[in-house]
Structure 1
Amino acid sequence: MQKLSIEDIVSKIKKEEKFHAVAEDYSLTIKIDDYVHYACAAVHDGHQFRKELWDNCIHTQYERWYEEDPETKNMVHSNPIVIAGCDSRFEYDLNRDPENAVFATAWGKKLWHKPLSEEHKNKSLEKHANFYKVTHALISKLEEKFGVVIVYDMHSYNWKRWDREVPTWNLGTSNIDNNRFGNDIESWRQRLSEIKFPEHIKSTALVNDTFQGNGYFLKYITQNFQNTLVLATEIAKIYCDELSQVIYPEIVSTVRTQLQSRLKEHSNAFYKRHS
């Protein structure tokens, strides 16, 4: 993996170069093993948190981890194109617009002992902007090359805090064209529901049950690109103990292996239908 400036990453994408890179400021990673009509993203995978913010942050390391999406990059890493955030959403949230990406309260709790300085805010917002420069370059190139593109926007959620039964998988579709892409949504939901877990874990998949797909990443791509479908795909945190911060690597491995074949099959059917 190379360490590259944002400008160099964008340049490589424009030239259709294959590469693995981490941004110079370590805010994002991207790998392109091949230029294909689908990409995977894990915008909330990151847990890094700038040291200069530590003493000012009221939330504990565990509280931050609890609201992040650990292992979501790992779940899709075997696919040809993967972009992921490295920083915690508590520093800046890639799934919120720039005006709201650096927040003062998080999940009902004040985040900072003292309000952040403009300098600290701007440092975070610059990394947010850089992520979207790379995203824009990537989707531009893929649409130019293939005409239609599909992006699998991977997230996870804390299922134990719900007071009702919730699905293993949730698709958020309220901000995409359901008339145009309805068949693709349903076929992805169906494929997810068929993923086999160890016996004690059910596999269910619903649409707009726990979340509706209101994230900025999906909205940014959908509003800027007419021929790219973004599927906001949430897995319940059945792959870890969200209360004790223990990851179950065998479950992560199961998800990664089964997603790889299903992603390829689904994206190929999507491309055949819409190209």
Structure 2
Amino acid sequence: MNMSVARQTDDLTLTAAGEWWTQHRGQSPVVATAIHNGHAMRDAMKDLCKLSEEERLREEDPFTEFIVRDVPNRIVVHRSRFEVDINRPREGAIYLRPEQAWGLNVWAGDLPSEITEASLAVHDEYYAMLKSYLRGIERCHGRFVVLDVHSYNHRRAGPGADPAIAAEAPDVNIGTISMDRKKWAPVIDGFMEAVQSFDFPGGRLDVRENIAFQGRGYQARFIHEQFPDTGCAIAVEFKKIFMEEWTGEPFVETLRALRQLLASTLPVIADAVESVR
């Protein structure tokens, strides 16, 4: 297993051949993760996968690593969620049925147990690493906030169809359902205000809480279970306004603006964490 720290660049994608994830550590109570950024699959699973590269990419979260790149504490997973989904419990981390994968038939036949266990080992090791990593942040700062960054599709009806209606698809969806919302209100409210007030190209973003998603992913739940008094995990879902979701084409200036936006919230979150009791 190779978990070396990758060099920060201005490229839109991060080369991490063979790595399960990369991690960075800095002096901050804020951590960002991009656990669905990855596209890589082991050859043994790729050979059995029926989906095209484009079909997989459509349900992954490309470029989320770029958005979090200015956060000193960050973890980026490089394996595709179609090999093992870090944001689901171990027993559901491999999509064996279409209803687990947006109706997609992922595999050409049954997966041998030795293949699935090798991928589930990534899930096991990730959460062992995450717990240790966050213990370190906790030791240094007492409390911490994890920005669990994802993206979501809003043109599911097809490339030429109308997008999802705005009432159901905010530009930024904040998921908070698995946390003690009252306790962490200064953090959540401060973060949302910072995102809403950012001078985004083309106009300020529509930021709402628990609309398209509620933050029910496994990573957020794990953090709140393991760190009930000291850890706050915010699921941050960016609508794919930064790319063409049917072709994978990135919109470079929008991505740069989102990266600047996220970095601008760090001092706000750090100050708000100090007020939580």
* TM score, norm. by length of structure 2: 0.87
Q: Is the 8 A contact 1:169 1:193 kept in 2?
A: no
Q: Is the 8 A contact 1:57 1:111 kept in 2?
A: yes
The answer to which structure has the higher helix fraction is 1
Q: Distance in 1 between matches of 2:17 and 2:154?
A: 35
Question: How far apart are 1:202 and its partner, in Å?
Answer: 5.5
Q: Distance in 2 between matches of 1:24 and 1:54?
A: 15
Q: Distance in 2 between matches of 1:151 and 1:5?
A: 23
Partner residue in 2 for 1:272:
274
What is the CA deviation profile of residues 127-173 of structure 1, one whole-angstrom value per residue up to 9, with x for unaligned ones?
A: 11111111111111111221111111100001223642121000011
Q: Is the 8 A contact 2:242 2:254 kept in 1?
A: yes
Q: Is the 8 A contact 2:20 2:78 kept in 1?
A: yes
Mark the runs of 5 or more structure 2 residues left unpaired by the alignment: 8-14, 157-162
Partner residue in 2 for 1:176:
179
Task: Report the count of equivalent residues.
Answer: 258
Q: Give the counterpart letter for 1:134 in structure 2.
A: M
Deviates more, 1:137-146 or 1:214-223: 137-146
Partner residue in 2 for 1:31:
24
- Identity over the aligned pairs, expressed in percent? 28
Question: How far apart are 1:178 and its partner, in Å?
Answer: 0.7
Question: How far apart are 1:5 and its partner, in Å?
Answer: 5.1
Cα pair distance change 1:86/1:272, threshold 3 Å: same
Is 1:242 the counterpart of 2:242 in the alignment? Answer: no
Partner residue in 2 for 1:85:
77
RMSD: 2.1
Partner residue in 2 for 1:212:
214
The answer to which structure has the higher strand fraction is 1
Question: How far apart are 1:24 and its partner, in Å?
Answer: 9.7
Q: Secondary structure at the match of 1:250?
A: helix
Q: Distance in 1 between matches of 2:200 and 2:51?
A: 33
What is the CA deviation profile of residues 215-270 of structure 1, one whole-angstrom value per residue up to 9, with x for unaligned ones?
A: 011011110012110111010000001122201111111111221122x2222222
Mark the runs of 5 or more structure 1 residues left unpaired by the alignment: 10-18
Question: How far apart are 1:36 and its partner, in Å?
Answer: 2.0
Q: Distance in 1 between matches of 2:124 and 2:146?
A: 19
Q: Is the 8 A contact 1:5 1:23 kept in 2?
A: no
* TM score, norm. by length of structure 1: 0.88
Q: Give the counterpart letter for 2:187 in structure 1.
A: D
Q: Distance in 2 between matches of 1:194 and 1:157?
A: 22
Is 1:222 the counterpart of 2:224 in the alignment? Answer: yes
